[in-house]
Amino acid sequence: MKKFIRTIEDFTCGHCGKKVKGNGYTNHCPKCLWSKHVDVYPGDRAEACGGLMEPVGLDLEKGIYHILHQCQNCGAEARCKSSPEDDINAFLTLSETLARYINF
C-alpha cells in the first residue's frame, strides 16, 4: 500500500457549497461531512470517478470518530477521521438518521 500524500488545497463542497480551507489532511466538508471521490490512495488525487461521497455511517475507534462514506457515482466506500472543525450538528443529524435505520 502506498503512503499517505499530504495535499494542501482549498475546495468548495460539491454538496452544500461551503468554501473549505484545506490543511493537507482535510478530506471532507466540515459543515455537511460530504466528501468527493478523488483519491485511489489518500492524498494522491488519482481517482477519475469524482463522484460525491455521502456520509453513511460513523465508527468509533480508540476514541476517534471516523466517517464512513459511499460514492454516489460508483458505490465505492471509504472511511476518514473526523476533524475538530466538523459541525457537531452534522454529526447529530447523521447519528439520528442512522438510529432510525437500526431502530433505536
Per-residue confidence at 2, pLDDT binned at 50, 70, 90?
low
What is the rounded distance in angstroms from the CA atom of residue 94 to the CA atom of residue 2? 31
pLDDT in tens, 55-98: 999 999 999 999 999 999 999 999 999 999 999 999 999 988 88
- Give the model's pLDDT for residue 90: 94
- On whether the CB atoms of residues 90 and 32 are closer than 8 A, the answer is yes
What is the rounded distance in angstroms from the CA atom of residue 102 to the CA atom of residue 59? 14
- Give the model's pLDDT for residue 83: 93
What is the rounded distance in angstroms from the CA atom of residue 77 to the CA atom of residue 91? 18
User: Counting Cβ atoms within 10 Å, is residue 98 exposed (0-12), middle (13-18) or buried (19+)?
Assistant: middle
* 3 state DSSP class of 93: helix
What is the rounded distance in angstroms from the CA atom of residue 86 to the CA atom of residue 2? 27
% of the chain residues with pLDDT over 70: 94
Per-residue confidence at 103, pLDDT binned at 50, 70, 90?
low
- On whether the CB atoms of residues 59 and 91 are closer than 8 A, the answer is no
- Give the model's pLDDT for residue 44: 87
- Give the model's pLDDT for residue 3: 78
With a cut of 70, say whether residue 13 has pLDDT above it.
yes
